[in-house]
Chains A and B, each alone.
Chain A
Amino acid sequence: AQTVTQSQPEMSVQEAETVTLSCTYDTSESDYYLFWYKQPPSRQMILVIRQEAYKQQNATENRFSVNFQKAAKSFSLKISDSQLGDAAMYFCAYRRGGYGGATNKLIFGTGTLLAVQP
């Protein structure tokens, strides 16, 4: 079974600084996707960034970028120029690709609570 591990329950960053959130996963699949979701106090689940396992290039979305190390099964999220609005719970998630006879659900890590200090 696939697992997702986030070893940092809480992180803190100063406004305008850079922070990196860690995520590791375990899978025997070769076709999969990795995601970072943000959950602010409103509890809405917001997609931050997505990475296809077959792509070597790291995904980037504005101030958010990932460091995808496939061999190490590591998928960290870097937030540059942190803003107060970035304060939230961040979940790393895994999703199998291809078709295995069932829908490919998201499997979440336990989350990292990010605080942004003014």
Chain B
Amino acid sequence: AAGVIQSPRHLIKEKRETATLKCYPIPRHDTVYWYQQGPGQDPQFLISFYEKMQSDKGSIPDRFSAQQFSDYHSELNMSSLELGDSALYFCASSLGANNSPLHFGNGTRLTVT
């Protein structure tokens, strides 16, 4: 069965650079969630989209933005990168916004040097 696809798997950027992370949900899934997991930390919710509209917002810095496109894939744009942005970024998808299970991608590991 198709899973959530995230690209790239690994990304190395320098401070003050920009990064774009991509997420392709499971086919027919209309809801996407982004999480940030720092080293030794639990995943922290950043933002979610339902039917291409932002539906919830968590602890996402103003330097970050995201959107969901017409084909339901989502992109997380990160600007003015800081060392503290180094983390594993997970995308998850679900069918519907509420009660169906979240399926996680394998994550993008971002390293800021």
B42: contacting residue among A50, A98, A111, CB under 8 A: A111
Alpha-carbon distance A110/B103, docked complex (angstroms):
20
B88: contacting residue among A43, A46, A47, A107, CB under 8 A: A43
Q: How many residues in A have their beta carbons less than 8 Å from beta carbons of B? A: 23
Decide yes or no whether B106 CB sits under 8 A from chain A. Answer: yes
B101 touches A105 (CB 8 A): no
Q: Cβ of B33: which chain A residues have Cβ within 8 Å of it? A: 103, 105-106
Binary contact track A68-100/B, C-beta < 8 Å → 1, others 0:
000000000000000000000001000101110
A104 touches B98 (CB 8 A): yes
B97 touches A43 (CB 8 A): no
B58 touches A105 (CB 8 A): yes
Contact surface of B with A, Cβ cutoff 8 Å: 31, 33, 37, 41-45, 48-50, 55-56, 58, 88, 90, 92, 97-99, 101-104, 106-107, 109
